[in-house]
Structure 1
Amino acid sequence: MVCLPLFPLLQSRNTDIRDDTACGMAALHIHPRATEIFLVVKGRVLTETVLETGVTAQDSDPTNPLKPRLIKNELTENQATVFPQGSFHTQMNPECTPGYAIAAFSSEDPGAALAAPQTFALTDDFVIANFGGAVDEAEIQRIRDGIPKGALAEVEACKKRCGL
């Protein structure tokens, strides 16, 4: 077993070995206290990351100066990506078989904040204002009811394609 006294390099670090289920997706989230290095050990993983406000898209639009920069990756075995501290990110196994990955963090306590549950925990008035009035109370409740109850979700189109 690897532990801090036997492996001092673990000081101020955290590592997670993930079993990525077929057609599984990690909910959109951030780690407020750590940068994550994500390495695919087996399988294929699609990732998307949105950097902090102000890091604009490469195809920046003068009519939308705050258009966020989206970084997309397709990782296969022995490939990795970095999710900077505080960046919104998600990972998906698009395959019909399980995969495995290792996530290493720059802190013993990286924290995790799931975007959808935390956004929709706000009162309706705040959600409506943050969505520019594009949603109403009924739609907010429908979305709240549909948010997965954990950190993992399943992609229905993938499950259907795989016969799962």
Structure 2
Amino acid sequence: MAPIFLCFLLFLLPTPNTATQDFCVGDLTAPDTPSGYPCKKVSAVTVDDFVFSGLGVPGNTSNLIKAAVTPAFVSTFPGVNGLGISAARIDIAPDGVVPLHTHPGGSELLVVLEGCIYAGFISTANDVYTQSLGPGDAMLFPQGLLHFQINSGDTAAVAIASFSSPAPGLQITAFALFANSLPSPLVEKVTFLDDDEVKKLKAVLGGSG
């Protein structure tokens, strides 16, 4: 009986878990990869890697869209590397808009803190889902789908967005079409817009060609 009892006690005793990795703080000095940054050595990790203070700071909305996004993505918040989460603060001034855009790497959950936001997304079946949101309201935008947020009130709007990826990515549709060197004839062909309209939008957004 003694050997069996001894084995039982040994089974109950805590043992070091060498198979579990608690975290993988991103080593931002190394190249980013599709699977994320390589892990920083644990000996170099500090509490600062797990703390981000930027979400309490209003973004600068003095720009064309009158909006600002302050990302707590892996590139600014290395502790989220490999954890499948990140966040961002969104500030939208009156008459401001976060134009149609996508996050190819993750879904978004938007929570309104201040003001009024009219938001929506378009499914791959071209169905449209829109809603007016006030403080405390939340809306989900599935991964990869076109979506937008508009300040629909008279005061500044503030929201916090959380993402299902440490690097959800961001591509604003209008900028992708008109803020680069994609030749105007090609843009006209794929958008059905006339030459004058394409040239006008390129001029506004800083594109060429």
Which TM-score applies when normalising by structure 2? 0.56
- Give the share of equivalent positions with the same residue, in percent: 25
Residue identity matched to 1:35: S
Of the two, which has the highest radius of gyration?
Answer: 2
Shift of 1:41: 1.3
Please name the residue that 2:114 is paired with.
Answer: 42
Structure 2 Cα separation of the partners of residues 72 and 147 of structure 1: 26
**Is residue 2:175 matched to residue 1:117?**
yes
- Paired residue secondary structure (2:105): coil
Where relative contact order (Cα < 8 A, 6+ residues apart) is larger, the structure is 1
Structure 1 Cα separation of the partners of residues 190 and 105 of structure 2: 25
Please name the residue that 1:76 is paired with.
Answer: 134
Please name the residue that 1:98 is paired with.
Answer: 156
Please name the residue that 1:161 is paired with.
Answer: none
Compute the RMSD of aligned alpha carbons. 2.4
Shift of 1:129: 1.5
- Paired residue secondary structure (1:26): strand
Structure 1 Cα separation of the partners of residues 170 and 129 of structure 2: 20
Residues 76 and 20 (structure 1), Cα distance of their counterparts in 2 relative to 1, 3 Å cut: same
Q: Which runs of 5+ in 2 are unaligned?
A: 1-46, 52-78
- Paired residue secondary structure (1:38): strand
Residue identity matched to 2:91: D
Shift of 1:71: 1.1
Aligned residues: 130
- Paired residue secondary structure (1:119): helix
Per-residue Cα deviation, 1:39-87 (whole angstroms, up to 9, x for no partner):
11122100121122xx2xxxxxxxxxxxx21111111111111111111
- Paired residue secondary structure (1:27): strand
- Paired residue secondary structure (1:28): strand
Please name the residue that 2:189 is paired with.
Answer: 129
Structure 2 Cα separation of the partners of residues 15 and 92 of structure 1: 19
Which TM-score applies when normalising by structure 1? 0.70
Shift of 1:110: 0.7
- Paired residue secondary structure (2:50): coil
Shift of 1:4: 3.4
Q: Which runs of 5+ in 1 are unaligned?
A: 56-67, 150-164
Shift of 1:20: 2.5
- Paired residue secondary structure (1:118): helix
